[in-house]
Amino acid sequence: MCGIVGFIGKNAKTQIIDCLKKLEYRGYDSSGLALINNKDKIEIIKETGFISNIENLSNNMFDDLEIGIGHTRWATTGKVTKENAHPHVSNNGRFAIVHNGIIENYEAIKSDLSHKGYTFSSETDSEVVAILLEENAKTAKSVIENIKLTTKILEGSFSLAILDTHSPDKIFATKKDMPLFVSAGADFASIASAVVGLPHDAIQYIMLENHDIAEISLNTIKVWQNEEMVDRRVQKITKDDLNHTMHNHKHYMIKEIFEEQVALEKTAEAFSSLKPSAKKEILDLFASHKRIHLVACGTAYHACLVGASLLESIGFDCSCHIASEFKYFPPNLNDKCLCIFVSQSGETADTIGCLKLVQEKGIKCLSITNVESSTIAHISDHLLMTKAGTEVAVASTKAYNCQCLIFYLLTQAISKNNQVISIKNLKIDKILQTINQISKLSQIIATFKKVFFIGRGLDSLTAKEGSLKLKEITYIPSESYPAGELKHGTLSLVDDESLSIVILTQKSTIHKTMNAVSEIKARGGFTLVVTPFDEIQPNHEIDYVFHLPILKNEQHYPLISIIPLQLFAYFTSIEKGINPDKPRNLAKSVTVE
């Protein structure tokens, strides 16, 4: 969701466009760039749609320029139009800015600036920043002071990259509650809102802190905090930070599904390799807290549901919360509570807000994330890393499995269960060998106008994630329910245009779950059962069956029963002519509330 890049050095335009492409996974609906030309004037190119549009517009133009900033916008304030695309420029043309976040008091600022005679060319909250910089330049003694005066007025969240034609060889940057990274090499300097957005030549970076103001010039980065120059920790860039190529796959989503076994293996290895002191600290959290709140959004929330079920099975009292609700309607929190926060990107704004709320109250907390350079990883007291590697497709797949695995590993460690989960014994490869069958079933799924996912116990949790995957990337209306809940209202929606996908992996629930299948067929609905049980075959009540591998421990099925559901969503999306990597209206990293 929204991406910022900046570059100083040769071929700045090409470098900026290349870096913006590396941020496409975050989701966007317009893009643009600003460059300072040889006459110290700002050149702007922006357009709706894909980055290729600004690439084509700027073809054979500005190739000799050596400084600029770029942006991919996911519309929040203001429609998807060229005028609302970033960068935005001050009335006098001196400043150009790109902005991630939301300026909550922009209407009041805009009104005040309008009364002073300034004009606005967009509907965005971001444009006020460029014009505020122009206004404050009248009194500020330096660009750094100007940025400080300007950001002091802003309410909300922001990361900003700024060009000033009075300092034509520099990019300025600042942030509050949004990620921003800077890097410099032998012949370049750069800025990005995610480490993956830095140039290929970058080997290290600095993560800016809230209210830092950075002055970036060729080979040099200076950072101020409260008018004093400060040092920030330099961190190395890992392969996981930069590796997001599709190799021989048609889409990132299918590539990432095929990477699930390796991702799980790396996550299990990382957990087992924790330093004894770090592992003891985490286990001590559970030893001293029996009341647990798990907080997340979307797919990560579904992983929390699995985690809560596992922790409850060993005696904990757990509640799961959607982060956007938790922040404004928190439960009763006290020092007897432990809070667990889960986020794939580590930049989920709602989850970060909850984490800070909990920290302010002095509540113990633990975070689970996939990105070591993320805000959540940076501010958390206790951290467990998943090792899914870069996940580009908007619909999360391998990260979800790794989040679930962390909860399995935690539960084992807390209960001192020495029985190690063998990733190989999950038989993921056998599922991936059934691609042709899954593809054919997906052709059938694509013909239905609505799809329901049902199951009992752990299967009902997998149903939630399966339903989310399908609606995310196929646009087929889909809902999930515990199988026994159908007769309490949802059966009214079942007809011959509906398909119910039934997850059935728990032997103790076969009879009761099949009762729900009978209820569906009696109302004219169609059924597809996903199960490891060989005795379940197509019959007068079951239209289609997909058989999972048989596992020794049925409690482990959530780690693999989701995989065919992810593949159903992928192939159904292909069947409907939709790009599964970039579904409409959605972003990979939701960095605004």
Three-class DSSP labels, 116-142: CCCCCCCCCCCHHHHHHHHHHCCCCCC
For residue 84, the model assigns a pLDDT of: 97
Tell me: do 325 and 214 sit in the same domain.
Answer: no
Q: Are 345 and 390 in contact (CB under 8 A)?
A: no
Q: Can 588 be counted among the known catalytic residues?
A: yes
Tell me: do 485 and 399 sit in the same domain.
Answer: no
Residues in the chain with pLDDT values less than 50: none
Tell me: do 393 and 459 sit in the same domain.
Answer: no
Over the range 347-370, which residues count as b (16 or more CB within 10 Å of their CB) and which as e? bbbbbbbbbebbeeeebbbbbbbb
By residue range, what is the domain housing residue 569?
426-580
Q: List residues bridging with 210 in a β-sheet.
A: none
Q: What is the CATH number of the domain that holds 563?
A: 3.40.50.10490
In a domain, 442, yes or no: yes
Q: Are 353 and 593 in contact (CB under 8 A)?
A: yes
Q: Are 527 and 451 in contact (CB under 8 A)?
A: no
Distance CA 566, CA 472 (A): 11
For residue 310, the model assigns a pLDDT of: 97
For residue 587, the model assigns a pLDDT of: 67
The closest of 562, 253, 254 to 426, measured between CA atoms, is: 562
Tell me the one-letter amino acid at 76. T
Tell me: do 304 and 208 sit in the same domain.
Answer: no
Q: List residues bridging with 369 in a β-sheet.
A: 343, 385
For residue 420, the model assigns a pLDDT of: 79
The closest of 112, 282, 469 to 292, measured between CA atoms, is: 282
Tell me: do 388 and 452 sit in the same domain.
Answer: no
φ and ψ of 545, to 5 deg: -135, 135
Cβ burial, residue 293 (10 Å; 0-12/13-18/19+): buried
Tell me: do 465 and 556 sit in the same domain.
Answer: yes
Distance CA 527, CA 525 (A): 7
Last residue of a domain, one of 355, 387, 421: 421
The token pair at 504 is 């059935």
Q: Which of 21, 110, 398, 588 is catalytic?
A: 588
Tell me: do 89 and 219 sit in the same domain.
Answer: yes
